[in-house]
């Protein structure tokens, strides 16, 4: 845009002054307000036929939207759920999903596109300037408000009638207590639930896959097995609550390779039973690498060395995975020798 396009009055004030001697007309406003550019008409403002055309375009978009909505309902009713079609870049896809998505998308898009086209071509496009004023109130208004306040305070006689003032403060201060009391309904306190699991002395370790109690010979070196406590069935009420704490990961490591002495003592001939719940935020952790004996948590990459008491060797987890002390009962099955000796899963406020 060259300077010839700009009307004279919109050019900066110092334009006429010779070089070097900048003359400022007004200290506070060194530049003249350029104002708004002159309004230019659109085709639709001048040509009634063009305006009609735009009107028809908008109406067409809205009509397409209506048809698409009807199409949505029609495809919902007519297309069977399991029909599959081939659509070129996507591949095989459920016909129903595709039809619902396309019609719904088209219906919404056409409403939006019609509204935008309407606004751009037919609604008034005159630019309107709205002056901004300082937010501060003028001094006389401020004085009036302060006067009113003082008069109100005087008439209420709060300063003189201390009984009213104090009881009012009391009422206002006590009122929020009713809300605080309702917080009690957030549930009973967890009590010691976080510290105990279903494991107890003599409970058999049951294979999650076969639902059979495990024998030491079932678990070979390098294998990975998941176990649950005896008596916990999948269709039980509260199964998820219990397994979320009691889930067990069983690995077998050559006893010579187990570095942690207590861990070896709590194992049965190298069969180690660790909690499957990550001590960081409680994800099920079972990405076990049998050569390195590392278990990795898929959520935040906490890594535990199962050959060294499940010590944390990487990641945000705060402490080692709790180990369950196991042994073999007289029938030759693996059994727990008690509950975990520390709370499983993530740390909590009172964990200690």
Partner 1 sequence: MKKLSARRRHPLAALVVLLLALACTGGLYAVFSPADKAQADETAQSLTIEEGKKLYSVGCASCHGTGGQGTSDGPSLVGVGAAAVDFQVSTGRMPAATSQGAQVPRKKAVYSQAEIDQLAAYIASLGAGPAVPTKEQYGPEGADIAKGGELFRNNCAQCHNFTGKGGALTHGKYAPTLEDVAPKHIYEAMLTGPQNMPSFPDSTLSEQNKKDIIAYLGEVNGEETESPGGLELGGLGPVSEGLFAWVFGLGALIALAVWVAARTAKAKKS
Q: Where along the sequence are the contacts to partner 1 (CB under 8 A)?
A: 1, 5, 40-43, 45-47, 84, 87, 90-94, 97-98, 116, 120-121, 125, 207-210, 214-215, 217-220, 222-226, 251, 284, 286-292, 294, 296, 298, 301, 303, 314
- Partnered with residue 84 across adjacent β-strands are 94
Q: How far is the CB of 61 from partner 1 (least distance, A)?
A: 14
Q: What whole-number distance in Å separates Cα of residue 323 and Cα of residue 197?
A: 13
Task: Output 24 or 313, the one with its CB closest to partner 1.
Answer: 313
Q: Give the count of alpha carbons within 13 A of 198, CB side only.
A: 23
Q: How far is the CB of 309 from partner 1 (least distance, A)?
A: 18
Task: Output 249 or 339, the one with its CB closest to partner 1.
Answer: 249
Q: What whole-number distance in Å separates Cα of residue 162 and Cα of residue 147?
A: 23
Q: How far is the CB of 208 from partner 1 (least distance, A)?
A: 6
Task: Output 12 or 222, the one with its CB closest to partner 1.
Answer: 222
Task: Output 13 or 232, the one with its CB closest to partner 1.
Answer: 232
Task: Output 56 or 351, the one with its CB closest to partner 1.
Answer: 56
Q: How far is the CB of 92 from partner 1 (least distance, A)?
A: 5
How big is the CA angle at 87 (ends 83 and 93), to the nearest 5 degrees? 40
Task: Output 15 or 124, the one with its CB closest to partner 1.
Answer: 124
| CA separation, residue 336 to residues 54, 75, 288 (Å) | 79, 57, 22
Task: Output 66 or 93, the one with its CB closest to partner 1.
Answer: 93
With tokens 């030491």, the residue in question is: 216
Q: How far is the CB of 73 from partner 1 (least distance, A)?
A: 21
Tokens of 321: 């995975």
Q: How far is the CB of 193 from partner 1 (least distance, A)?
A: 25
| CA separation, residue 311 to residues 306, 307, 321, 351 (Å) | 7, 9, 7, 18
Q: How far is the CB of 249 from partner 1 (least distance, A)?
A: 10
Q: What whole-number distance in Å separates Cα of residue 39 and Cα of residue 160?
A: 66
Residue 145 makes CB contacts below 8 A (sequence gap 6+) with 137
Q: What whole-number distance in Å separates Cα of residue 173 and Cα of residue 339?
A: 48
């Amino acid at each position: 845009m060259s300077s010839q396009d700009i009307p004279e009055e919109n050019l900066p004030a110092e334009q006429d002054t010779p070089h070097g001697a900048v003359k400022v007309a007004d200290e506070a406003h060194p530049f003249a307000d350029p104002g708004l550019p002159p309004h230019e008409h659109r085709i639709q403002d001048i040509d009634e036929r063009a305006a009609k055309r735009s009107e028809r375009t908008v109406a067409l978009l809205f009509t397409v939207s209506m048809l698409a909505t009807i199409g949505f309902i029609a495809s919902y009713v007519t297309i069977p759920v399991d029909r599959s079609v081939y659509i070129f870049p996507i591949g095989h896809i459920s016909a129903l999903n595709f039809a619902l998505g396309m019609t719904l998308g088209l219906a919404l898009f056409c409403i939006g596109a019609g509204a935008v086209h309407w606004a751009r071509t037919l609604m008034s496009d005159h630019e309107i300037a709205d002056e901004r004023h300082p937010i501060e109130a003028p001094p006389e208004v401020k004085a009036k408000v302060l006067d009113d306040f003082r008069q109100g305070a005087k008439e209420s006689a709060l300063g003189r009638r201390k009984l009213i003032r104090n009881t009012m403060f009391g009422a206002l201060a006590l009122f929020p207590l009713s809300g605080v009391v309702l917080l009690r309904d957030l549930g009973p306190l967890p009590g010691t639930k976080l510290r105990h699991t279903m494991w107890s002395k003599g409970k058999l370790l049951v294979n999650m896959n076969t639902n059979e109690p495990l024998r030491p010979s079932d678990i070979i070196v390098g294998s990975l097995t998941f176990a649950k406590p005896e008596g916990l069935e999948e269709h039980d009420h509260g199964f998820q609550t219990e397994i979320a704490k009691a889930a067990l990961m069983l690995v077998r490591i050559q006893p010579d390779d187990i570095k942690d002495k207590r861990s070896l003592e709590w194992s049965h001939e190298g069969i180690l039973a660790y909690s499957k719940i990550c001590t960081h935020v409680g994800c099920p952790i079972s990405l076990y690498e049998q050569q390195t004996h590392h278990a990795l948590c898929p959520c935040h990459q906490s890594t535990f060395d199962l050959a060294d008491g499940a010590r944390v060797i990487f990641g945000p987890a705060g402490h080692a995975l709790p180990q369950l002390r196991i042994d073999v009962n007289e029938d030759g099955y693996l059994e727990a020798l008690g509950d975990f000796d520390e709370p499983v899963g993530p740390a909590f406020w009172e964990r200690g």
